[in-house]
């Protein structure tokens, strides 16, 4: 199939950036979206032009590195699918496709479609962990955990930290990300000890990074490639208030 | 422990402030509406209610309520404006294509519907409480020498401009409540898989019911059901 792409090009953080149009021809429907961009980049390199910079790593939907807004949707039109797992069979010959970076003040653009998501790392450093003694790993079943708690924790732990929630949110709020991290740890006995300090410091750090506040639109939940539920945000609201009192 | 000011200014604390005060205001609307509906029982009930409201426990009840409501209103508006301004700063440049899946016109315009409500409330108080706007309707006295609330309302709603403004304000309030009530539950963390569906559908229904209740008064005057 032949496509017309409109891609956000920006040479660096201080550049203004703009959409540029490109044609890519003979795209196979079996290609992934990123492979289609690889094809475009090969052509650009051959012509001596700058290739389009975009983030990617595992290309199997588990690392959270890829991320771009495709026709107004973070990770593209399919639900619960990362950009790397989106295939060209979701498009048809002659389609125009708009490809833009995550937009948020807290995610400054590095170049083209690449944004700096280190704000997420800093939020994690403020509490997205449990403190344990290092040394030998302890016995696997030393701490009994109910199936229900384990499942809830896993549902939250499915977050790959890609930032699609921020990109989808009309307020660029990181609530779903932070709530998933809090929800993942607080469901488990190991995470309960630091529950209060974690909720408090992660929330204050998400504010300090300049993310917006949640206004309960639930766009994040709809865009999340891992289907993390906004119920975790309600839980974060509870955990935060518990940590205040 | 974090400094109290940092906690107070955090987004989630301010959302809690907005939700708690918002629920207080919704409660007030329900109370206000039940008073308004007395109009259907006739002038005597309405005017007696007006006197009672002002004189209950030597007027202490109404003053405590007024101060509480004013506080709730101020905190709600402040939080709403501060958070909306913050969110505007957080979003930066918007994409050329934006598609929304789950947000609604109501949810995306909360601060605007809120500000319209704010302006309307001031005008509404000037009209029916302070007697500063439309003074011609304010000075009626009934045969028992009471402030004739009933006649003030009926005469006011014979004025098409007042009916139009009032109806518009109610529609805007309906828009605000359409998102607000369910949203407050999420903010307060009252949420689980069994009740989410109920909360998200009941919120708008309660909001619309309140608004229809308020609209029933001017409509009844316009259609001659209340004279
Ligand atoms: C009759 C008066 C009002 C009532 C009953 C009311 C009720 C509510 C409720 C229940 C909420 C939900 C809180 C939450 O999401 O946690 C809310 C949110 C909000 N209200 Fe009001 N409100 C009123 C007036 C106002 C006014 C005057 C403003 C002026 C700025 C305002 C601005 C907002 C904003 C910005 C939100 C947040 C929306 C969001 O986060 O999604 N409201 N309101
Ligand atoms: S590249 Fe790893 S999730 Fe897409």
**Which of A110, A135, A165 is the endpoint of a domain?**
A110
Which residue did the predictor score with more confidence, B111 or A140? B111
Q: Which residue of A has its CA nearest to B85?
A: A212
**Which of A84, A110, A136 is the endpoint of a domain?**
A110
Q: Which among B98, B102, B192 is the nearest to A218, CB-wise? A: B102
- Helix B60-91 × helix B110-128 angle, to 10°: 150
Examine the domain organization and report whether A151 and A237 are in the same domain.
Answer: yes
Which residue did the predictor score with more confidence, A164 or B57? A164
Asked if residues A197 and A127 have their Cβ atoms less than 8 Å apart, the reply is yes
Rounded CA gap, B104 and B100, in Å? 8
Q: How far is the CA of B176 from the centre of ligand 1 (A)?
A: 7
B103/A19 touch (CB, cutoff 8 Å), yes or no: no
Residue with tokens 């539950």, as numbered in its chain: B185
The residue among B70, B69, B226 whose CA lies nearest residue B151 is B226
Residue A1 has pLDDT above 90, yes or no: yes
Q: What's the number of domains chain A is made of?
A: 2
Rounded CA gap, A76 and A87, in Å? 10
Residue with tokens 């689980």, as numbered in its chain: B192
Burial of A18 (0-12, 13-18, 19+ CB in 10 A): exposed
Residue A59 has pLDDT above 80, yes or no: yes
Q: How far is the CA of B28 from the centre of ligand 1 (A)?
A: 13
Which residue did the predictor score with more confidence, A187 or B192? A187
Task: Show the tokens assigned to B182.
Answer: 């369910």
Question: If you count them, how many residues does chain A have?
Answer: 245
Examine the domain organization and report whether A79 and A178 are in the same domain.
Answer: no
Residue A231 has pLDDT above 90, yes or no: yes
Residue B198 has pLDDT above 90, yes or no: yes
Rounded CA gap, A62 and A159, in Å? 9
Examine the domain organization and report whether A240 and A122 are in the same domain.
Answer: yes
- Looking up residue A89, the CATH number of its domain turns out to be 3.10.20.30
Instruction: Kindly report the backbone phi and psi dihedral angles of residue B215, in degrees, each rounded to the nearest multiple of 5, phi listed first.
Output: -70, -20
Give me chain B's average pLDDT, please: 95
**Which of A110, A141, A162 is the endpoint of a domain?**
A110
Query: pLDDT tens digits, residue range B79-109?
Result: 999 999 999 999 977 788 878 889 999 999 9
Residue with tokens 């993390």, as numbered in its chain: A228
Residue with tokens 């019911």, as numbered in its chain: B209
A237/B189 touch (CB, cutoff 8 Å), yes or no: yes
Q: How many CB atoms lie within 10 A of CB A219?
A: 28
Mean pLDDT of A178-191: 96
Examine the domain organization and report whether A126 and A188 are in the same domain.
Answer: yes
Task: Return all residues near B170 (Cβ < 8 A) that are at least 6 apart.
Answer: B211, B214, B215
Contact list, A106 vs chain B (CB under 8 Å):
90
Examine the domain organization and report whether A238 and A122 are in the same domain.
Answer: yes
- Looking up residue A213, the CATH number of its domain turns out to be 1.10.1060.10
- Can you give the pLDDT at residue B1? 63
Examine the domain organization and report whether A53 and A99 are in the same domain.
Answer: yes
Residue A173 has pLDDT above 90, yes or no: yes
Question: In angstroms, how far is the first alpha carbon of chain A from the final one?
Answer: 60
Examine the domain organization and report whether A140 and A37 are in the same domain.
Answer: no
Pairing assessment for the beta strands A69-70 and A114-115 based on DSSP bridges = unpaired
Task: Return all residues near A154 (Cβ < 8 A) that are at least 6 apart.
Answer: none
- Can you give the pLDDT at residue A124? 98
- Helix B149-156 × helix B43-55 angle, to 10°: 120
Mean pLDDT of A157-179: 97
Which residue range is the domain that position A49 belongs to?
Answer: 3-110
Query: pLDDT tens digits, residue range B17-65?
Result: 999 999 999 999 999 999 999 999 999 999 999 999 999 889 899 999 9
Structural domains of chain B, with CATH: 2-222 (1.20.1300.10)
Contact list, B195 vs chain A (CB under 8 Å):
none
Rounded CA gap, B154 and B39, in Å? 9
- Can you give the pLDDT at residue B94? 79
Examine the domain organization and report whether A103 and A65 are in the same domain.
Answer: yes
* Ligand 2 pocket, residue A32 CB under 6 Å: no
Q: Which of A16, A165, A216, A231 would you mutate first to test chain B, the one with the most B CBs within 10 A?
A: A216
Rounded CA gap, A177 and A233, in Å? 9
Examine the domain organization and report whether A68 and A170 are in the same domain.
Answer: no
What are the start-end ranges of the E strands in chain B? none
Examine the domain organization and report whether A77 and A139 are in the same domain.
Answer: no
Question: If you count them, how many residues does chain B have?
Answer: 227
DSSP B34-80: HHHGGGGG-HHHHHHHHHHHHHGGGGHHHHHHHHHHHHHHHHHHHHH
Rounded CA gap, B125 and A201, in Å? 43
Examine the domain organization and report whether A34 and A94 are in the same domain.
Answer: yes
Examine the domain organization and report whether A234 and A134 are in the same domain.
Answer: yes
A215/B98 touch (CB, cutoff 8 Å), yes or no: no
Q: pTM for this structure? A: 0.95
SS (H, E, C) chain A: CCEEEEEEECCCCCCCCEEEEEEECCCCCCCEHHHHHHHHHHHHHHCCCCCCCCCCCCCCCCCCCCCCEECCEECCCCCCCCHHHCEHHHCCCCCEEEEECCCCCCCCEEECCEECCHHHHHHHHCCCCCCCCCCCCCCCCCCCCCHHHHHHHHHHHCCCCCCHHHHHCCCCECHHHHHHHHHHHHCCHHHHCCHHHHHHHHHHHHHHCCCECCCCCCHHHHHCCCCCCCHHHHHHHHHHHHHHC
Asked if residues A229 and A157 have their Cβ atoms less than 8 Å apart, the reply is no
- Helix A147-157 × helix A175-186 angle, to 10°: 150
Interface of B with A (CB under 8 A): 2, 6-7, 10-16, 83, 86-87, 89-104, 107-108, 110, 179, 182-183, 186-193, 196
């Amino acid at each position: 199939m032949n496509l017309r792409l409109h891609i956000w090009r920006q040479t660096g953080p201080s550049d203004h950036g703009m959409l540029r149009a490109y044609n890519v021809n003979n795209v196979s429907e079996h290609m992934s979206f990123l492979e289609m961009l690889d094809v475009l980049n090969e052509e650009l390199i051959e012509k001596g032009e700058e290739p389009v910079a975009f983030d990617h790593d595992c290309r199997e939907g588990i690392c959270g590195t890829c991320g771009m807004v495709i026709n107004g949707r973070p990770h593209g039109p399919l639900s619960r699918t990362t950009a790397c797992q989106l295939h060209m069979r979701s498009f048809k010959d002659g389609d125009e496709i708009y490809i833009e970076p995550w937009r948020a003040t807290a995610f400054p653009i590095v170049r083209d479609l690449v944004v700096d998501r280190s704000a997420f790392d800093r939020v994690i450093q403020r509490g997205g962990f449990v403190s344990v003694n290092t040394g030998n790993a302890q016995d696997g079943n030393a701490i009994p955990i109910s199936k229900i708690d384990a499942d809830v924790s896993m549902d939250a732990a499915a977050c790959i930290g890609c930032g699609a929630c921020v990109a989808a949110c009309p307020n660029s709020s990181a609530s779903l990300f932070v709530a998933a991290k809090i929800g993942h740890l607080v469901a488990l006995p190991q995470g309960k000890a630091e529950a209060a300090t974690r909720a408090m410091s992660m929330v204050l750090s998400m504010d300090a990074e300049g993310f917006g506040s949640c206004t309960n639109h639930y766009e994040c939940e709809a865009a999340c490639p891992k289907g993390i539920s906004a119920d975790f945000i309600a839980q974060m609201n509870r955990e935060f208030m518990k940590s205040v009192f | 422990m974090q400094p109290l000011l940092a906690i107070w200014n955090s987004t989630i604390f301010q959302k809690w402030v907005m939700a708690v005060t918002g629920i207080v205001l919704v409660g007030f609307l329900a109370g206000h509406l039940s008073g308004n509906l007395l109009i259907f029982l006739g002038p005597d009930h309405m005017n007696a209610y007006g006197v009672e409201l002002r004189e209950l426990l030597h007027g202490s009840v109404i003053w405590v309520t007024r101060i509480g409501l004013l506080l709730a209103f101020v905190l709600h508006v402040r939080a709403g404006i501060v958070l909306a301004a913050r969110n505007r700063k957080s979003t930066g440049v918007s994409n050329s294509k934006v598609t929304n899946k789950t947000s609604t016109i109501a949810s995306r315009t909360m601060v605007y519907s809120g500000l319209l409500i704010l302006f309307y409330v001031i005008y509404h108080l000037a009209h029916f409480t302070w007697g500063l706007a439309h003074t011609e309707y304010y000075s009626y006295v009934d045969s028992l020498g009471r402030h004739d609330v009933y006649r003030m309302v009926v005469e006011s709603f014979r004025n098409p401009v007042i009916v139009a403004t009032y109806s518009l304000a109610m529609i805007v309030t309906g828009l605000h409540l359409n998102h607000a009530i369910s949203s407050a539950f999420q903010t307060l963390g009252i949420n689980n898989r069994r009740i989410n569906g109920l909360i998200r559908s009941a919120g708008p229904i309660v909001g619309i019911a309140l608004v229809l209740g308020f609209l029933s008064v001017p409509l009844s005057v316009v259609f001659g059901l209340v004279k």
